[in-house]
Amino acid sequence: MLMLKLLQAAASGVVTGCIYAMIALSVVIIYKATEIVNFAGGELVMVGAWLGLLLVGYFGLPRPVMLLAVPVVLFVLGAAFDRLALGRIARRRPSRRLEHATLVVATIGLSNLLKGAVRGIPYTQEVRRLPPLIGGAPIFVGDVVLERQDLAIVALAAVVMLALWAFFRYTLPGKALRATSQNARAAALVGIPVAGMRMSVWGLAASLSGLAGVMLAPKLLLTPDMGDVVTLAFAAAIIGGFTSLPGCVVGGAILGIMQNLVGTFIAPQAIAVTPFFVIMLVLLLRPQGLFGDTVGVRRV
């Protein structure tokens, strides 16, 4: 019985962990490229979820179309935010130290802007739920119950992550992005359009968040506040070291499983506080996480 409970908790933990990992990836690629913690990451998830619901539930589009449309729209949104707001601030440069705080404040502004905009739309006044991505009876593996939809989520997340990995590893734009993250000035010297790269990182990150939103939406009730999930992504990213993409995936899985175990074996209300404790403990005991760069060194 205990074994079954453990397995079941691990199985559902992996599913939610995949979603956390996607959001964490979105936060980390922005951090790697621009050293900004994107506090609007959760709101991009929320916008993706509502957009998915709007397209499927209101306009009646088929789901594959929605799965393509959401990342595209979010890409434009993310790129536009970088271009219109962040690019402008970076060009003005009041002072270097102040600039960083200012850019973070801009993402907090975006977070409130998106939350407020969604809250203002009458369609969101009612609590809604996205219909499952795939219907059908659950599958039994031994005694562990697996929902078809959960399998779809894991499969989709795996495809996205593999695609992302291949993109960064094998394609020219992906390599250019990595070069920009490592050293923007050197990248500019070899002819990489750094501003454009930053914009595409923001676009890419927003699409990832949007997709995560679509994956999360059937499992949660949709509210304008569902962006709070970003805390879990921060925790996942910190477990992984905050600069490592595989770290996000491992961190997401660890966190998802841990939450389920805490919910099953300790207390349901302790689930909410798990990510906060994880963040603080990891930062205290092993700030570089599992795979992160050494910390404490700051570039001049």
Applying CB under 8 A, the residues found at the interface with another protein are 31, 35, 37, 84-85, 88-89, 92, 94-106, 108-117, 119-120, 231, 234-235, 238, 242, 269, 272-273, 275-277, 279-280, 283-284, 287, 295-296, 298, 300
CA-CA-CA-CA dihedral for 49, 51, 52, 56, to nearest 10? 140
**Of 73 and 113, which CB lies nearer to another protein in the complex structure?**
113
SS3 146: strand
- Min. distance of Cβ 114 from another protein in angstroms? 7
Placement of tokens 């697996």 in the chain: 146
Q: Is residue 55 within 8 Å of residue 193, measured between CB atoms?
A: no
User: Which one, 148 or 286, has the nearer CB to another protein?
Assistant: 286
Residues 6+ apart with CB under 8 A from 62: none
**Shortest Å, Cβ 272 to another protein:** 6
Q: Which is nearer to another protein, 35 or 144 (CB)?
A: 35
CA 190/CA 202 separation, integer angstroms: 22
Which residue number, 30 or 211, has a Cβ lying nearer to another protein? 30
Task: Please report where in the chains the tokens 């949007």 appear, as a residue.
Answer: 210
**Which pair of structure tokens corresponds to residue 70?**
């959401």
Compute the least distance from the CB of residue 237 to another protein, in Å: 9
| Shortest CB 83 distance to another protein, Å | 12
Nearer to another protein, 99 or 132 (CB): 99
CB of 30 to another protein, least distance (A): 11
In 3D, which of 51, 45, 8 has the Cα closest to residue 26? 45
